[in-house]
C-alpha cells in the first residue's frame, strides 16, 4: 500500500492532522477577537460576472422545477448581505469552487477563509492579517508595497502613463512567446504574474496595495487618487495567498461595474451572467463601512508544511475525488 494507489489520500496522515490544527488555530484567532463564525450557501441562484473567474454550475430541482445553480467561487456576496443585515464582524471557513485547470496551487474545489471587519479601511485590515500570519504560519512582519512601485522596481515601468502598446512591447521583451491580449489590464496582469510575483514575498509576506482603479472589481476607489483602488493582494513564499478590499458600498456603481464585466464577457465569447439582485438590494439597504479578505486555506497549509504542490495538502484532489 503506497500513496500512489489511486484510492489513497495524496496528503500524508500527518498533514491531515496539521490541517485540523490549522483550522483550530484560525478559529481560536477569531474567537479571541470576538469575530463571529457564519455559514452561507455554497449553491446559489446567481454567479459572479468577473470574466477571469469561471464558476462550476449545477442543475437541481426545487418545488418540482428544474433550475440552474452556481457553486460559489467565494462566499463574498452572501457574507456582505449578512453585513447589510447587521451581523457585524464575521468570518467563514468554507469550500469554494472554480472551473479552472488543476495545477501546482489550484484544485477546482478548495478551502477558503473569508472575513470582514466593520468600521475600518483596507490598511487597518492588513494590520490584522499581518498579525494572523505571524501567529498562524510563524511569518515575519509583512512588507507593504504599492502596485505601481513594484512595476517601477522590477520593470522600470510607469503604470499610470503606460499605453496598451507600451505594455505589449514590455511583455514581448520580458516573456517568451506572450499571448496576444486585447485589454491593457490583461497585459498588466500578465506582466505582474510573470515578472513580479515570483520575486516578492519570498522571505516575509508582501502586501501589495493600491491596484489600478480599472482592477477595482468590488473595491472602493481611493479618495486621494481616482486612478487607484482600495484593493490589496497578499504574497508569501511564492504563493498568492489572498485578495481583499475596502468594500464598495455604492449599489449603482457596483451594478455599473457588473454590467461592464458582462460586456467584457460577451466580447471574450463568454456567456453573460445574471447580476445577483439580492446582493444589489443589500447594497441599496446599506452596507456598513467595512473591509474584507479571502485567503486560501490550502495554500496556508502548503506554507506550514513546505509542500511544493497543493495535492500534498489535500486528502483527495480532483483526480482522486
pLDDT at 80: 98
Q: Does the pLDDT at position 1 exceed 60?
A: no
* Secondary-structure breakdown of the chain: helix, strand, coil percentages, each rounded to the nearest 5: 40, 20, 40
Q: Does the pLDDT at position 321 exceed 90?
A: yes
Strand order in 206-209's β-sheet? 36-37, 90-97, 109-118, 290-296, 239-246, 231-236, 206-209, 143-146
Question: Please, where are the H alpha helices in the chain?
Answer: 13-32, 76-85, 122-136, 147-155, 164-174, 184-191, 251-267, 277-286, 297-305
Q: What is the pLDDT of residues 63-116, one digit of tens each?
A: 888 999 999 999 999 999 999 999 999 999 999 999 988 899 999 999 999 999
* Cβ density class 171-206: b for 16+ within 10 Å, e for less: beeeeeebeebeebebbbebbbeebbbeebbeeebb
Q: What is the pLDDT of residues 112-135, one digit of tens each?
A: 999 999 999 999 999 999 999 999
- Among residues of the chain, what percentage have pLDDT more than 90? 92
Mean pLDDT over 150-179 rounds to 95
- Do the beta carbons of residue 243 and residue 189 sit within 8 Å? no
pLDDT at 2: 62
Distance CA(70)–CA(319), nearest Å, equals: 22
pLDDT at 268: 86
Q: Does the pLDDT at position 271 exceed 80?
A: yes
pLDDT at 146: 97
Q: What is the pLDDT of residues 211-262, one digit of tens each?
A: 999 999 899 999 999 999 999 999 999 899 999 999 999 999 999 999 999 9
Q: Which run of H or of E encompasses 57?
A: strand 56-62
Question: Which pTM does this prediction carry?
Answer: 0.94
Q: What is the pLDDT of residues 32-45, one digit of tens each?
A: 999 999 999 999 99
* Band (52; pLDDT cuts 50, 70, 90): confident
Half-sphere exposure in the Cβ direction for 217 (13 Å, CA): 19
Question: Looking at domain 13-142+204-320, which CATH architecture does it have?
Answer: 2-Layer Sandwich (3.30)
pLDDT at 200: 97
Mean pLDDT over 195-208 rounds to 97
pLDDT at 182: 87
Residues 6+ apart with CB under 8 A from 177: none
Average pLDDT of the chain is 96
- Among residues of the chain, what percentage have pLDDT more than 70? 99
Amino acid at each position: 500500500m503506497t500513496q500512489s494507489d489511486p484510492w489513497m489520500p495524496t496528503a500524508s496522515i500527518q498533514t491531515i492532522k496539521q490541517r485540523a490544527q490549522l483550522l483550530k488555530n484560525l478559529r481560536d484567532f477569531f474567537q479571541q477577537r470576538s469575530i463571529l463564525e457564519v455559514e452561507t450557501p455554497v449553491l446559489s441562484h446567481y454567479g459572479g460576472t468577473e470574466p477571469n473567474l469561471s464558476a462550476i454550475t449545477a442543475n437541481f430541482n426545487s418545488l418540482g422545477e428544474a433550475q440552474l445553480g452556481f457553486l460559489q467561487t467565494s462566499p463574498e456576496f452572501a457574507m456582505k448581505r449578512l453585513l447589510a443585515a447587521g451581523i457585524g464582524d464575521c468570518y467563514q471557513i468554507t469550500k469554494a469552487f472554480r472551473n479552472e485547470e488543476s495545477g501546482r496551487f489550484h484544485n477546482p474545489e478548495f478551502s477558503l477563509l473569508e472575513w470582514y471587519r466593520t468600521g475600518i479601511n483596507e490598511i487597518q485590515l492588513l494590520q490584522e492579517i499581518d498579525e494572523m500570519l505571524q501567529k498562524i504560519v510563524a511569518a515575519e512582519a509583512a512588507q507593504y508595497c504599492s502596485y505601481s512601485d513594484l512595476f517601477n522596481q522590477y520593470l522600470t515601468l510607469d503604470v499610470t502613463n503606460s499605453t496598451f502598446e507600451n505594455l505589449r512591447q514590455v511583455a514581448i521583451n520580458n516573456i517568451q512567446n506572450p499571448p496576444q491580449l486585447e485589454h491593457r489590464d490583461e497585459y498588466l496582469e500578465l506582466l505582474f504574474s510573470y515578472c513580479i510575483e515570483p520575486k516578492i514575498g519570498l522571505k516575509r509576506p508582501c502586501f501589495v496595495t493600491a491596484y489600478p482603479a480599472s482592477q477595482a472589481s468590488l473595491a472602493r476607489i481611493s479618495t486621494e487618487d481616482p486612478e487607484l483602488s482600495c484593493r490589496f493582494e497578499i504574497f508569501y513564499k511564492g504563493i498568492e495567498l489572498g485578495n481583499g478590499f475596502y468594500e464598495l458600498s455604492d449599489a449603482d456603481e457596483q451594478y455599473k461595474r457588473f454590467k461592464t464585466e458582462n460586456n467584457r464577457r460577451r466580447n471574450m465569447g463568454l456567456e453573460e451572467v445574471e447580476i445577483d439582485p439580492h446582493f444589489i438590494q443589500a447594497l441599496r439597504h446599506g452596507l456598513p463601512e467595512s473591509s474584507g479578505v479571502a485567503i486560501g486555506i490550502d495554500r496556508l497549509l502548503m506554507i506550514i508544511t513546505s509542500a511544493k504542490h497543493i495535492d500534498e495538502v489535500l486528502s483527495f484532489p480532483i483526480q482522486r475525488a
